[in-house]
Amino acid sequence: MHSRTPSPAARAGRPRSATADTAILAATRAALVELGWSKLTLGDVATRAGVAKTTLYRRWAGKNELVVDAVAELFDELRVPDRGSLAADIEGVVLQFAAILARPEARSGLMAVVAESTRDDALRERIRASIVERQKRLVLEGRARAQARGELPPEEDPEEAARTVDLIFDVVAGAVVHRTLVSAQPADENWVRGFTRVLVTGLTSLPGRPQEHQTGTAADSPPAPGNRAATDSPSAPERKAADSPSGA
Amino acid sequence: MHSRTPSPAARAGRPRSATADTAILAATRAALVELGWSKLTLGDVATRAGVAKTTLYRRWAGKNELVVDAVAELFDELRVPDRGSLAADIEGVVLQFAAILARPEARSGLMAVVAESTRDDALRERIRASIVERQKRLVLEGRARAQARGELPPEEDPEEAARTVDLIFDVVAGAVVHRTLVSAQPADENWVRGFTRVLVTGLTSLPGRPQEHQTGTAADSPPAPGNRAATDSPSAPERKAADSPSGA
DNA sequence: ACGCTTTCGCTACGACCCGTAGCGTAATGG
DNA sequence: CCATTACGCTACGGGTCGTAGCGAAAGCGT
């Protein structure tokens, strides 16, 4: 063995410009603010970033993938503040989420790529990995903290717990998105307070597993409801060519 | 006064073909299914509908407005079934809503126009009037029914009540949309049951104006959080030219 | 220092779609 | 029968797409 590649994915030749990546993503967000999704063109982004249009196509397959990466960076700042109670923690996270969605580059970009992802499985997976999964971790973190405080009981059935996390996540993210983008009204403190009150009340005051009273089978869902924790390690965000310069 | 227009908006000349309208909207939905939003072209829709491309532009300002009208018709079938209890009624409506969102023409079309509406106020108003408002009426209907049953107390402060309706609407619609489009998992009976349980528990088991126990002021929200009930009567869907052939 | 490899900037290109103008024709109402 | 409006059709300039091809630049290994 003579030619050992010193580090993975640094094989040979001229390396990709890292500054170009950040410039392109920043230019994409700027273009989203000024033009919105539909009028954003890759040629324009390339000009703003000071690179050639062909460079863009060498790194991203198209507009969709580029915008996903550009928007994903906006969610890097999300944290779970320790405010002392479950309700207060949720309020804090929701307010942060709402603040991000209030920015025009997120508004116009995020929903557009989600819409596109309904016809493009690879794109949806990219969104899930780079945006959704990061948010879901916040829910897990908040639950762990609430359990440590004794506000929530420790989970018994892990599968049931996972389903609850998914439910909470859909409710929280969905409500904020709908309030912000569809109803077009600010998710300000008042709204977040009312929303959190309903959510926390609904979560804490319902018994662990009440009764499968009416409709029928409630807990014997088949073993594979989704594809939880089955699409992770391989086939990362899968850039067009090779390396993965996006923050990560 | 001699030239009395016999009926409003039927002034003179050749009337617009009503069949063409339905054909165009149906063709739009078909194109959404086959091509999705991004690859849908107006020329293609015109060909499918058997009309000239210019006819499309005489009636709709562009792709956005056309798709809004085409998708809006999908929501005509929404009803509030009387299942006997608030929880069961909500489950019924949510399941209907989920069924509509499961159709590909709604998935790819709805989110795309919502995304576009973030930069186009007229488009957002069109969506609100033709889609959102219709759904919100279901919430009002369900609440009235629950009040008649005694499950919910009659509202005291009408402004507070309106705010609650908006909150419920954002939570329900947002959660279903997020579950369906972002998480990309079916909003089936099991999920709807769990979601409804949390929502109904949160709504009913919180007293009308409880205690500002931990987080702080919970009820003294300022009087004007949004601009409710201020954009209604004038400037209807405002087609491009004149008449309004969409179902209505 | 020398190649080898990969990236970069640039130009040019065919293909496609947009949105409109113009024309002759069809369908109503007065 | 005439004014008015809608329709189908064709054609057009303008813009974007995504790719190909080229020479030059920037690293790595020997």
Q: What is the pLDDT of residues B60-118, one digit of tens each?
A: 999 999 999 999 999 999 999 999 999 999 999 999 999 999 999 999 999 999 999 99
Q: Which residue has the tokens 């419920």?
A: B168
Q: Are residues A100 and A200 in the same domain?
A: yes
Q: What is the pLDDT of residues B64-74, one digit of tens each?
A: 999 999 999 99
Q: Which residue has the tokens 């909207």?
A: B25
For residue A71, the surrounding DSSP H or E stretch is helix A63-72
Q: Are residues B45 and B83 in the same domain?
A: no
Q: Which of chain B's residues have a Cβ under 8 Å away from the Cβ of A183?
A: 132, 166, 169-170
Q: How far is A163 from chain B (nearest CA, A)?
A: 9
Instruction: Determine if strand C comes within 7 Å of the CB of B15.
Output: yes
Give the tokens for residue A178. 């709908």
Instruction: Determine if strand C comes within 7 Å of the CB of A12.
Output: yes
Q: Is the pLDDT of residue B235 over 60?
A: no
Strands (E), A34-126: none
Instruction: Determine if strand D comes within 7 Å of the CB of B11.
Output: yes
Out of B88, B115, B127, the one facing A112 most closely (by C-beta) is: B115
| Residue ending a domain, choose from A43, A70, A97 | A70
Please judge whether A88 and B214 are an interchain contact, meaning their C-beta atoms are less than 8 angstroms apart: yes
What pLDDT was estimated at residue B206?
66
Q: Are residues B78 and B190 in the same domain?
A: yes
Q: Is the pLDDT of residue B5 over 70?
A: no
Query: Cβ of B211 under 8 Å from any chain A Cβ?
Result: no
- A226 band by pLDDT with thresholds 50, 70 and 90: very low
Q: Are residues A58 and A129 in the same domain?
A: no
Domain membership of residue B147 (yes or no) is yes
Q: Are residues A122 and A185 in the same domain?
A: yes
Q: How far is B227 from chain A (nearest CA, A)?
A: 9
Give, in degrees to the nearest 5, the angle at Cα B141 between B139 and B145.
Answer: 115
Q: Is the pLDDT of residue B245 over 50?
A: no
- B211 band by pLDDT with thresholds 50, 70 and 90: very low
Q: Are residues B81 and B190 in the same domain?
A: yes
C-alpha–C-alpha distance, residues B66 and A218, integer Å: 41
CATH number reported for the structural domain that contains residue B112 in this entry:
1.10.357.10
Q: Are residues A187 and A113 in the same domain?
A: yes
Q: How far is B3 from chain A (nearest CA, A)?
A: 44
Domain membership of residue B172 (yes or no) is yes
Q: Protein footprint on strand C: which nucleotides are under 7 Å from a CB?
A: 4-12, 16-22, 26-30
Pair B141, B80: CB distance under 8 Å: yes
Query: Cβ of B225 under 8 Å from any chain A Cβ?
Result: yes
Domain membership of residue A180 (yes or no) is yes
Please judge whether B178 and A183 are an interchain contact, meaning their C-beta atoms are less than 8 angstroms apart: no
Domain membership of residue A246 (yes or no) is no
Q: Residues B171-194: what's their mean pLDDT? A: 97
Q: Are residues B80 and B147 in the same domain?
A: yes
Q: Are residues A80 and A66 in the same domain?
A: no
Q: Are residues A199 and A83 in the same domain?
A: yes
Residues whose CB is less than 8 angstroms from the CB of residue A49 and which lie 6 or more positions away in sequence, other chains included: A20, A23, A24, A26, A27
Domain membership of residue A47 (yes or no) is yes
Q: Are residues B134 and B190 in the same domain?
A: yes
Give the tokens for residue B125. 């108003």
Domain membership of residue B233 (yes or no) is no
Tell me what percent of the residues of chain B surpass a pLDDT of 70: 79
**Taking the mean position of all CA atoms in its chain, how far away is CA A8?**
27
C-alpha–C-alpha distance, residues A109 and A95, integer Å: 20
Domain membership of residue A80 (yes or no) is yes
Burial class (CB in 10 A: 0-12, 13-18, 19+), B181: buried
Chain B's closest residue to A38, CA to CA, is B116
Q: Are residues B44 and B95 in the same domain?
A: no
Q: Residues A187-210: what's their mean pLDDT? A: 86
Query: Cβ of A236 under 8 Å from any chain B Cβ?
Result: no
| Residue ending a domain, choose from A27, A54, A70 | A70
Interface of A with B in 123-182 (CB under 8 A): 124, 127-128, 132, 163-164, 166-167, 169-171, 173-179, 181-182
Determine the residue type at B75.
F
Instruction: Determine if strand C comes within 7 Å of the CB of A47.
Output: no
Instruction: Determine if strand C comes within 7 Å of the CB of B42.
Output: yes
Instruction: Determine if strand D comes within 7 Å of the CB of A54.
Output: yes
Please judge whether B119 and A132 are an interchain contact, meaning their C-beta atoms are less than 8 angstroms apart: no
Full domain range(s) for residue A25: 19-70
Q: Residue A110 — φ and ψ, nearest 5°? A: -65, -50
Q: What is the pLDDT of residues B113-140, one digit of tens each?
A: 999 999 999 999 999 999 999 999 999 9
Domain membership of residue A135 (yes or no) is yes
Provide the number of structural domains found in chain B. Answer: 2
- B7 band by pLDDT with thresholds 50, 70 and 90: low
What pLDDT was estimated at residue B10?
58
Tell me what percent of the residues of chain B surpass a pLDDT of 90: 74
